[in-house]
Amino acid sequence: MKIFLFCAIFFLVAFVNAAQSGTEKECTEATAVLTSKDGTVSGTIRVKKTGTEDCGVHITGTIYMPESEYKKRGFHIHEKGAKGDNCLAAGGHYNPEGKQHGSPDVSNRHKGDLGNVEQNGKTITIDIHDSQACLTGPYSVLDRSFVLHDGIDDLGRNNDEGSKTTGNAGGRIACGPIIKAF
C-alpha cells in the first residue's frame, strides 16, 4: 500500500509540474489593466507573441486620459507586477541583463524600454512591435508591469545619469501588472 501511495503521489507531482511547464511554454497572449491612483487614467493593454522564439511581441491597447492633450509619454515594462505607492511598487525598468536605457530600435537597451506613446486628445493608442519583450522563457514579462510616465522618454540619448537609467521620463501616471490571458 505504501509503495502504491508513493507512486501515485510521485506521478501526480510529475504530472502537475509537466502541465505547469507546458502552460508557461504555451503562453501566447497576456493582458494588463492600467489605472492611476485616483482612477482618472485607465486602459487595457494586450500582448501577443509574434514569433516562434521566446521573444517578439505585438503590444496593443488604449489608455484613456482625463485631460485633452497632445504629447508624448514614456511607456515601459517595469520589473515587478505591483501597483502600490502610486506605481513605485513596480520597481525600475525591467532590465535583467544590466544594460543602459535606450531606444526600442537598438539592441543595447533594457528589455522593458518601449519608448514613447502619443496622447492624442483624451486617448493614447498603443501599437508597438517589440523584438526584445518575451512572453515565455527566462526573460518573460509576465508578472511585471506596464507603466505610463508623465514625460517624454529621451531614449537614453542625453549625457546625464537619468537619461542612461530611466530616459528622464518623469513621474508615473498609471500602471498595471501583465498577466497571462486565459
Count of CA atoms in the C-beta half-sphere (13 A) of 108? 4
State the catalytic residues. 76, 78, 93, 101, 110, 113, 149, 172
Report the SS3 class of residue 165.
helix
The position carrying cell 485631460 is 67
CB atoms within 10 A of CB 111: 23
Cell of 45: 493593454
Task: Catalogue the E-assigned strands of the chain.
Answer: 29-35, 42-49, 55-78, 113-134, 145-149, 172-177, 179-180
Instruction: Say how far apart CA 101 and CA 94 lie, in whole Å.
Output: 10
Quote the Cα angle for 82-84-90, to 5°: 40
